[in-house]
Amino acid sequence: MKVRDLLIDDSFRLTVEGNLDAEITGCYCGDLLSWVMSHIKPHQVWCTVLSHVNIVAVASLTQVSSIIICEDAPLEEATLNKAKQESINIIATSLTSAEVARRILNG
């Protein structure tokens, strides 16, 4: 699946556009930056409720396909600006991390 395929589902709203052709090979759910950095795999989407600018740095270092901000958690302006600079997809949703993971893993 590609990021653009995920966006067909109306539950997902593109907030910052990066590479919509990035492959999604899985999903990782986590809110502790150091833990995510050491466990997430490249090309996975990252489900979180964190909104601090450091999520963009973690996403960039780990080569995730997208950051998915769950449960309509508010995003900081600095985070949006940094994601635009780094061309990191940020997707917002009202779904929980578990609900997002089920949708991605079940295709």
pTM for the whole thing? Answer: 0.95
| Domain at 3-105, CATH homologous superfamily | HprK N-terminal domain-like (3.40.1390.20)
pLDDT above 80 (res 107): no
Render pLDDT for 53-86 as a digit per residue (tens, 0 to 9): 999 999 999 999 999 999 999 999 999 999 999 9
Distance CA 62, CA 45 (A): 11
pLDDT digits (tens, 9 = 90+) for 12-65: 999 999 999 999 999 999 999 999 999 999 999 999 999 999 999 999 999 999
What band does 103 get if pLDDT is binned at 50, 70 and 90?
A: very high
Given this model, what pLDDT does residue 89 score? Answer: 98
Domains of the chain by residue range = 3-105
